[in-house]
Amino acid sequence: MPRLLVVDDETFIRMLYKKEFESEGYTVLTAATPDEAMAILKSDRPDVVILDIELGDENGLTMLNRMRREYRDCAVILNTAYSTYKSDFQTWLADAYLMKSSDMRPLKNQVRLLLEKGYCDQKQ
Amino acid sequence: MLDIGYHERLMPSLRDGVHAYFRSNPVGVFVIDTEGCLRDVNDRACEIFGFGSPQEAEGKSLTSLEFFFSYPIVDRINGLMTNEESFKIHCFPGTNLRGHFAYYCLSCNRAVDDAGDAVSIFGIIEDVTDQVRRQEDLKNRVDELSILSQISQEVSSAIDTEEVLKVILTGVTARQGLGFNRAFLFLLDEESRMLVGRLAIGPTDAAEAGKIWSSLEKVDRSLTEILSLYQEESERSNRCLTDIIRDMRIDVTNGSIFARAIQDRAPLVTDYGQPLDHVSEKILQRLGERRVAMTPLVVRDRPIGLLLVDNNITHKEITDHDRQFLKLIADQTAAAVERSYLYRDLRERAVELERINRKLAETQNQIIEAEKMSVIGEITSAVAHELRNPLTIIGGFANLMHKNLEPGSSDAEYLNIIISETQRAESVLTDVLDFSKASKVKDRRLNLNEIVRQAHDMLSVRLGNGRSRMSLSLSERELPIWGNPDQMLHACYQILSTIIQDLLADVSPRVCTYGLPDAVRLEVCCPQAGRQQEKVEQTLAQYFGAGNSTKRLSLLVSEETLKHHGGILGVESNPEEGPVLYVQLPAYKETTDA
């Protein structure tokens, strides 16, 4: 079963995403800070990470950098309220960039696409 | 009145002594008898009249001296025989038997006998030529000093260069002063190192000279009067003369006498027959005079022009004294010209300042608008973040609940309302964030160069003149784009303002524009940053890198505006110029749909 990690400092966002994705059959892990997230990454090796950028006093892009060094095979979707980060070259390290929305379909589609891509890559 | 009896009573020895004294007296003494003939003439008088000896003079009638004494003087001497009183003529011109011209002083007394009848006329004649010359000389010096003083007064009140030059040249040619026939003024063009003909004063020919000079010489006129008379009398001839030199360009590095005068900073005189270089020869030929005096105009050891004079009409010799006096006038001219230049610069600066003030007033509103936009952008961005999360949560849970509802549940309607209203709120939020898309009606064809220049001007005004050290290098060809002029101006202003204010204390950014095959580009870089390169990189990273987002927010509206116009704002690394901030917009083509 694909494992997702949702990293967001907003409790209700974490709760929402967990419910939504679990209802789709995913195993959903959540973290409120980069440190928590890094610990889960180490212990549970999720397939996809849904990562917010503004994490209180911390920055999701810094965590993205660390992830890319240590866990190269993990897909990352940046999910934020800001559109401005798109022009930051650091965001290019992520596999996708999506604006937060109450309509979860784009996010779900993106997760599915990444997992399919990961599956195909593995097969090849 | 002389008593002749006194002579007869003199002792013979005394008479001999007096006679010897009479003969050798340094003053010319002569006696005329009642017949009007010279009787006794001493050696000096003989010399003055041009006789070889007293014997040759004695017996000559007074009328035979009319070549020397004019008729009115002869008449007055004859008058003494009858009743006239003694007289003295202090100075009159005369030419003697040998053709020598001089100025003389004559005094005549009549000698009478005991009965009181005239028996002879006793005359004393002196050559006073030296005194007359000295007086003339003195008068000339006084006139010269007077002209110099008047020139000084006139130019001290004149501020227009043309007016100053006119005063100087008129002073040089005024007959009360140096009285040169013509004067030419050349000013040095610093850039090309060429003397450029500027103004000339003087008559074009003898007839013109006669007309002008006679009108000026009737009475002693002041320079002010001469100046106004010159305006009327010699305007045409001055114009003709100025036309001769108007298009003249004399290279001051080619070794001609003109170049030498400028290089040596010393006056020069050329004369007939003096061998000259080809260039000088040609120039003097054009002026129509070979004998000229020239003196450079020098201010603080810096030559600014050349004053050239001649006596083309009278052919009067140019003396050393003329040359020295010319130098004095040239020094005055140089100072006055320099002053007029300073005044001209001051006036230009005043006009420029006025223009800037006008521009300041015009751009004040634009600046306020741009700053408002910036503040709105920051607030909008912050609010967007704060609102988007709760909206996502509310709408997300509503969706979740809606999915889990039993079919036919009455809550479905309410959940649908929550979901649709949340989506509407999210849509409004997107519109607010992208508010720069709002005024499409004003979109039109624009030139990126003009927008950048306008933004640069606004920024210069905002930072204060001279503080905006950024250099502007705009594409020579038009860079057409399609868009809203206000929004594009605000975007450019905001980008330049944010970045340049952050960099200003350390480096001088270069702002340039250029065209690509299908796009136009604005770039800001710091090619001369040197050791400040790291600071530039850090500053740009604040806008586009991770970390503090305050700087990034300030560019949010600009970025959104550019996006709306199909453009992008970004940073790229150039190996030669370091990090480059760029704005790239699609080039507008007439056939393209806007």
Neighbours of B593 (CB within 10 A): 5
In the block, which residue shows the tokens 């007869």? B8
Helices (H), B434-582: 448-463, 485-503, 533-544, 550-554, 556-564
Between the alpha carbon of residue A19 and those of residues A4, A102, B397, B404, B426, the distances in Å are 12, 13, 9, 11, 21
Alpha-carbon gap, residue B550 to B556, rounded angstroms: 10
H or E stretch covering A68: helix A60-70
A16 at the B interface (CB within 8 A)?
A: yes
Amino acid at B555: L
Would you state the pLDDT for residue B578?
75
CB-count exposure of residue B586 (10 Å: 0-12, 13-18, 19+): middle
**Set of chain A residues whose Cβ sits within 8 Å of the Cβ of B396:** 13, 16-17, 20, 102, 104
**Set of chain B residues whose Cβ sits within 8 Å of the Cβ of A12:** 393, 397
CATH annotation of A3-123? 3.40.50.2300
Per-residue confidence in pLDDT tens, chain B, 594 aa: 555 566 566 567 676 777 778 888 889 999 988 888 888 899 999 999 888 888 888 888 887 887 788 888 888 888 888 877 888 998 888 888 888 889 999 999 988 888 878 888 999 999 999 999 898 888 877 877 777 777 777 777 767 777 777 777 777 777 655 678 888 989 898 888 899 998 888 888 777 777 766 666 655 666 666 666 666 666 666 778 888 888 888 888 888 889 999 988 888 888 888 888 888 888 898 888 889 999 998 888 888 899 999 988 888 888 888 888 888 888 877 888 888 888 888 888 888 888 878 777 777 777 776 667 667 766 766 777 678 888 999 999 998 888 888 877 888 888 888 998 888 888 777 766 655 434 434 678 999 999 998 888 777 766 655 555 678 899 999 999 998 887 788 788 888 877 777 765 567 788 899 999 999 999 988 776 666 677 777 777 667 655 445 556 567 778 878 888 889 988 887 777 777 889 999 999 875 444
**Set of chain A residues whose Cβ sits within 8 Å of the Cβ of B559:** 84, 87
Among B472, B468, B465, CA closest to B355: B465
CA B179 to chain centre: 25
Would you state the pLDDT for residue A120?
44
Cβ neighbors of A4 (< 8 A, separation 6 or more) are A17, A21, A26, A27, A28, A29, A46, A47, A48, A49, A50, A111
Residue ranges per structural domain of chain B: 2-127, 134-344, 353-437, 440-586
Among B180, B501, B231, B521, CA closest to B367: B501
CATH annotation of B134-344? 3.30.450.40
Quickly count helices (H) and strands (E) in chain B: 19, 19
Residue ranges per structural domain of chain A: 3-123
Would you state the pLDDT for residue B469?
67
Alpha-carbon gap, residue A20 to B400, rounded angstroms: 7
Would you state the pLDDT for residue B192?
86
Three-state DSSP state, A43: helix
Three-state DSSP state, B265: coil
Would you state the pLDDT for residue B438?
42
What torsion, rounded to 10 degrees, do the Cα atoms B60, B66, B72, B76 define? -10
Neighbours of A24 (CB within 10 A): 14
CB-count exposure of residue B387 (10 Å: 0-12, 13-18, 19+): middle
Indicate yes or no: CB of B544 within 8 angstroms of CB of A101: no
Indicate yes or no: CB of A84 within 8 angstroms of CB of B552: yes
Alpha-carbon gap, residue B306 to B259, rounded angstroms: 10
CA distance B567 to chain A (A): 12
Alpha-carbon gap, residue B147 to B190, rounded angstroms: 31
Give chain A's end-to-end CA distance (angstroms, integer).
20
Helices (H), B174-266: 206-217, 223-233, 235-246, 257-264
What Rg value do the Cα atoms of chain A yield, rounded? 13
Give chain B's end-to-end CA distance (angstroms, integer).
122
Amino acid at B19: H
Would you state the pLDDT for residue B431?
64
H or E stretch covering B196: strand B194-201
The size of the A-B interface in CB pairs under 8 A is: 79
Would you state the pLDDT for residue B440?
39
Q: What letter does residue B406 receive in the DSSP assignment? A: P
Indicate yes or no: CB of B396 within 8 angstroms of CB of A54: no
Q: For B251-255, which contacts have Cβ atoms below 8 Å and span 24 or more sequence positions?
A: B251/B193, B251/B194, B251/B279, B252/B188, B252/B193, B252/B194, B252/B195, B252/B303, B253/B193, B254/B279
Would you state the pLDDT for residue B430?
73
Question: What are residue B436's phi and psi, to 5 degrees?
Answer: -65, -10
Question: What are residue A14's phi and psi, to 5 degrees?
Answer: -60, -45
> Six-digit token pair at B275?
């061998």
Per-residue confidence in pLDDT tens, chain A, 124 aa: 899 999 999 999 999 999 999 989 999 999 999 999 999 999 999 999 999 998 877 889 889 988 888 888 899 999 988 776 765 667 778 899 999 999 999 999 999 999 988 744 543 3
CB-count exposure of residue B576 (10 Å: 0-12, 13-18, 19+): exposed
Neighbours of B360 (CB within 10 A): 16
Alpha-carbon gap, residue B582 to B572, rounded angstroms: 8
Buried b / exposed e along B32-42 (16+ C-beta atoms within 10 A): bbeeebbbbbb
Between the alpha carbon of residue B145 and those of residues A101, B67, B335, the distances in Å are 96, 38, 18
CB-count exposure of residue B441 (10 Å: 0-12, 13-18, 19+): exposed
Would you state the pLDDT for residue A1?
85
**Set of chain B residues whose Cβ sits within 8 Å of the Cβ of A54:** 385, 549
Three-state DSSP state, B447: strand
Q: Which of B381, B433, B546 sits opposite A88 (nearest CB)?
A: B546
Identical fold, B2-127 and B134-344? yes
Task: Please check whether residue B9 is in contact with residue B33, taking contact to mean a CB–CB distance below 8 angstroms.
Answer: no
Interface of A with B in 28-57 (CB under 8 A): 54
Indicate yes or no: CB of A102 within 8 angstroms of CB of B392: yes
Three-state DSSP state, A61: helix
Report the predicted TM-score, pTM, of the whole model to 2 decimal places: 0.43
Top CATH class, B353-437: mainly alpha
Among B100, B84, B101, B79, CA closest to B92: B101
Q: DSSP letters of B81-131? A: HHTPPPEEEEEEEEE-TT--EEEEEEEEEEEE-TT--EEEEEEEEEE-HHH
Among B456, B458, B450, B454, CA closest to B480: B450
> Six-digit token pair at B289?
């005079």
CA distance B382 to chain A (A): 9
CA distance A42 to chain B (A): 24
A92 at the B interface (CB within 8 A)?
A: no
Task: Please check whether residue B58 is in contact with residue B38, taking contact to mean a CB–CB distance below 8 angstroms.
Answer: yes
CB-count exposure of residue B240 (10 Å: 0-12, 13-18, 19+): middle
CA distance B367 to chain A (A): 24
Sign, Cα dihedral of B399, B401, B405, B410? negative
> Six-digit token pair at A1?
């079963």
Buried b / exposed e along A88-104 (16+ C-beta atoms within 10 A): bebbeebbbbebbbbeb
Q: Which CATH number fits domain B2-127: 3.30.450.20, 3.40.640.10, 3.40.50.300, 2.160.10.10?
A: 3.30.450.20
**Set of chain A residues whose Cβ sits within 8 Å of the Cβ of B549:** 54, 82, 84
Indicate yes or no: CB of A16 within 8 angstroms of CB of B384: no
Q: Which of A54, A81, A102 sits opposite B399 (nearest CB)?
A: A102
- The residues of B whose Cβ lies within 8 A of any Cβ of A are 381, 384-385, 388-389, 391-400, 403, 419, 422-423, 426, 433, 544-547, 549, 552-553, 556, 559, 568-571
Q: For B287-291, which contacts have Cβ atoms below 8 Å and span 24 or more sequence positions?
A: B287/B184, B287/B244, B287/B245, B287/B312, B288/B312, B289/B182, B291/B315, B291/B317, B291/B318
Q: Does domain B440-586 have CATH number 3.30.160.60?
A: no
| Complex prediction ipTM | 0.83
